[in-house]
Amino acid sequence: MTVSQLPEPVWLADAVEQFYLHGLVVIPEALPASLCQQLCDEAQQAQLKPAGIGRGQDLQLDPDIRRDQTLWLDGSSDAQQQYLALMSFIQQAANRSCFIGLTHHEAHFARYQRGDFYQKHLDAFTGRSSRVLTTVCYLNDVASGGALQIYSENDTPLLQVQPQASTLVLFESARFPHEVLPADS
């Protein structure tokens, strides 16, 4: 099956409706298992680099804030193309139903090894509204540690998502502070 023949995910309409109502949705088993495994294998073999904070000239490495490694997806593999096509489905559905005007999406692999974390932050940059929708998709199961802790707008813990392969989390980038708790393995 080519990327252009991918069917729209069966969960998409319900997920976008929940996003519209709550600004946050968790979708277990969002990826087909074979695609999730292909992406996981690719991420394990990839040469990831220490992740920074900020953008452009403000980009900096600060291991007191963030210790994971990342690699931006560029569509160079069939698995990446399929994943990016899925993100495009989400983008189009969110634009139709939520009127949020997404013009593009970006995605990266992130690897958290023992002790790695990412302190509480928002994904939207101050004064810029280019990041509206955050997506997190887990490629492997983690028994403990490394959870995504999402906070409410008044900074109280709202939801903790333990990494489970194929789980996809969508939330408003400027609305929900979040952090990745230290990884155990």
Per residue in 129-167, pLDDT (tens digit) is: 668 999 999 999 998 999 999 999 999 999 999 999 999
Look at residue 126 in the predicted model and tell me its pLDDT: 66
Residue type, 121: H
- Per-residue buried b or exposed e for 90-119, using 16+ beta carbons within 10 Å of the residue's own CB: bbebbeeebeeebeebebebbbbeeebbbe
- Bridge partners (DSSP) of residue 71 are 109
Query: Span 66-75, mean pLDDT?
Result: 97
pLDDT digits (tens, 9 = 90+) for 77-98: 999 999 999 999 999 999 999 9
Determine the pLDDT at residue 40: 98
In single-letter form, the type of residue at position 80 comes to Q
Share of the chain above pLDDT 70, in %: 94
Reduce the DSSP state of residue 74 to 3 states and report it: coil
In the predicted model, is pLDDT for residue 52 greater than 80? yes
Query: What is the mean pLDDT of the segment spanning 49-78?
Result: 92
Q: What residues have CB less than 8 Å from 163, skipping those under 6 apart?
A: 138, 140, 141, 142, 146, 147, 148
| Residue 36 to residues 16, 75, 78, 110, 160, Cα–Cα distance (Å) | 21, 15, 12, 14, 21
- For 116, the 3-state DSSP assignment is coil
If DSSP codes are grouped into helix, strand and coil, which group holds residue 182?
coil
| Residue 21: its H or E element | helix 12-22
State residue 78's pLDDT score.
96
Give the per-residue pLDDT at 146. 97
Which range, of 44-58, 60-74, 116-130, averages the lowest pLDDT? 116-130
pLDDT at 2 over 80: no
HSE-CB of 82 using CA atoms within 13 angstroms:
19
pLDDT score of 15 more than 80: yes
Distance from C-alpha of 34 to C-alpha of 44, rounded to nearest angstrom: 15
Q: Do 159 and 24 meet the contact criterion of CB atoms below 8 Å apart?
A: yes
Give the pLDDT score at 50: 96
Please report, to the nearest 10 degrees, the dihedral formed by the alpha carbons of residues 150, 155, 157, 162 taken in order: 20
Whether the pLDDT of residue 45 is over 60: the answer is: yes
| Bridge partners, residue 108, by sequence | 72
- Whether the pLDDT of residue 128 is over 70: the answer is no
Average pLDDT taken over every residue of the chain: 93
Give the mean model confidence (pLDDT) for residues 98-113. Answer: 92
